[in-house]
């Protein structure tokens, strides 16, 4: 049931991403992971079933926004190569899923499942750093 709630809220996130990425893409790309980090900290602190269901709904919305944001970041530099950018997005998503699963599996084997949240926060921080690097590279391109 929780996965169905998460999946449904992902659809809501897709809709929200369509609206927010058009208005201010960089703001959306940076604010969404920061909000996610806040919710993961709350999730780590308040570890009860009903709160987990509520957070699954909220994090599903935010994940939907981030999925569209990731696709936007990959396809934006290649406006005339839609097939290439879609293939690149799928490849990057698969690499991220495989790597994240392996890292979280390692965390579970070394500690408790609760510490997956800490691992997720670290990965979100790395994602934010990559968004800043991408923004910096785009600004450098505009100067030339």
The domain of 10 spans 2-143
Q: Global pTM?
A: 0.83
Residue 46 corresponds to which tokens in the numbers above?
Answer: 């308040």
Instruction: Report pLDDT digits (tens) over 22-55.
Output: 999 889 999 999 999 999 998 888 877 788 888 8
Query: Residue 80 gets which letter from DSSP?
Result: T
Cα-flanking dihedrals φ and ψ of residue 132, to 5°? -65, -40
Number of domains in the chain: 1
Model pLDDT for residues 130-144, shown as the tens digit of each residue: 999 988 888 887 665
Q: What tens digit of pLDDT does each residue of 66-114 get?
A: 999 988 888 888 888 888 988 988 998 899 889 988 988 898 899 888 8
d(CA 74, CA 92): 9
Identify the residue whose tokens are 């691992």.
119
């Amino acid at each position: 049931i929780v996965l169905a709630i998460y999946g449904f809220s992902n659809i809501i996130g897709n809709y929200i991403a369509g609206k927010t990425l058009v208005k201010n893409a960089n703001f959306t790309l940076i604010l969404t992971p920061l909000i996610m980090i806040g919710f993961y900290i709350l999730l780590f602190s308040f570890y009860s079933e009903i709160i987990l269901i509520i957070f699954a709904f909220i994090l599903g919305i935010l994940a939907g926004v981030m999925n569209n944001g990731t696709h936007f970041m990959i396809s934006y530099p290649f406006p005339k190569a839609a097939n290439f950018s879609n293939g690149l997005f799928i490849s990057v998503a698969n690499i991220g899923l495989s790597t994240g699963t392996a890292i979280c599996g390692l965390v579970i084997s070394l500690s408790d499942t609760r510490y997956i949240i800490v691992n997720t926060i670290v990965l979100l921080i790395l994602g934010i750093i990559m968004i800043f690097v991408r923004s910096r590279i785009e600004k450098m391109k505009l100067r030339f």
